[in-house]
Amino acid sequence: MPVRQITIIGTGLLGGSLGLALKKSGYTGRIIGCDRAPVLERARKKGAIDEGRTNASDAVRGSQIVILATPVGAIIDLIKELGPALPAKTLLTDVGSTKAEVLVSAHGVFGKNLPRRFLAGHPMAGKEQTGVEFADPDLFRDAAWFLTPVAGQNVYDGLSGEFLGWVEKLGARVLSMNAQEHDQLCAWISHLPQMVSTALAATLVDEYGEDAPLLEAGGRALREMTRISASPYSMWRDIALTNKKSIREALLKLEQRLAHIRENLDTRELAMEFERAHHLRKASPANSPRRHGTTEKTKT
């Protein structure tokens, strides 16, 4: 059955981009946004949504698919708030950057019905800017869209399958793994790079002051290394809280590697570190996720 209406709760960068991308990909149903009134007005003017509502319970009424596109902490709360009242035929899904605690919340609400009521997802897409002003219909093109299905869940069945059909029309690559593997992997490939960029930028401010024109002097390497340091704490706070163990472990291993480099700036060990690092670029991007237990377009 065609999806006639979709609700996107959170119409910022990701939610707004998703609305624009769905329309660009040929979706002709209605898209209802839920956010603060000024944000909804900007989302409507940009064309990301057809209608906006400030109350989440009102916003989900009549929708076959409800997408939670807020920070992770709010996703967990919204599952508890909306889940019990959603019709049995409505699919609830999310785009949160961590998955284990999200699934704990969903299981508490849906219980044994979780496999057909909730789809845990995470598109690996974003920008350092926030807000619907920066929404982009091509944001998800060539991006990985992680799923973390639970036991017995066929993600390509029913409404879930219809939604993933649209995800693929957006140009995203659907990848599947369990929630714990997802959070550990993302600690390395997403959360650690953010913390490194934040630490580098903060250290440079301490060293040279807030007004030093370092980016102009440092060139492309410094700009690339510090670009995501502009990302909002409001989003990363929830990621750090819900994936603390994996992020701590990744930071510790990086600290140990940096200490090894610091102690070997004048030895052959430094050259060996460069040689080892070069293997990352030599690796095939298509094979990289599979080494972490990921499968592409797997029906589970």
Per-residue pLDDT reduced to its tens digit, 52-72: 999 999 999 999 999 999 999
Rounded to whole angstroms, the Cα distance separating 45 from 55 reads 19
Identify the CA nearest to 186 among candidates 255, 106, 243. 243
Looking at the predicted structure, is the pLDDT value of residue 299 above 60? no
Report the pLDDT value the prediction gives residue 194, as an integer from 0 to 100: 97
Question: Residue range 133-137: average pLDDT?
Answer: 94
**Strand-pair partners of 296:** 175
Is 60 in contact with 83 (CB distance < 8 Å)? no
**Encoded amino acid at 225, one letter:** M
Report the pLDDT value the prediction gives residue 1, as an integer from 0 to 100: 61
CATH 1.10.3660.10 fits 182-291, yes or no: yes
Residue-range domain boundaries for the chain: 5-178, 182-291
Rounded to whole angstroms, the Cα distance separating 177 from 166 reads 20
CA dist list (Å): 3 to 63, 84, 113, 130, 146: 8, 21, 21, 28, 22
Q: Establish whether domains 5-178 and 182-291 are of one fold.
A: no
Q: What tokens were used for 41?
A: 């007005």
**Strand-pair partners of 118:** 92
Looking at the predicted structure, is the pLDDT value of residue 288 above 80? no
Rounded to whole angstroms, the Cα distance separating 186 from 184 reads 6
Q: What tokens were used for 229?
A: 């340091």
Identify the CA nearest to 31 among candidates 72, 1, 64, 80. 64
**What's domain 5-178's architecture?**
3-Layer(aba) Sandwich (3.40)
pLDDT (tens digit per residue) in 240-286 = 999 999 999 999 999 999 999 999 999 999 999 999 999 998 875 55
Identify the CA nearest to 174 among candidates 186, 157, 156. 156
Report the pLDDT value the prediction gives residue 292, as an integer from 0 to 100: 41
Report the pLDDT value the prediction gives residue 287, as an integer from 0 to 100: 46
Looking at the predicted structure, is the pLDDT value of residue 41 above 50? yes
Is 63 in contact with 37 (CB distance < 8 Å)? no
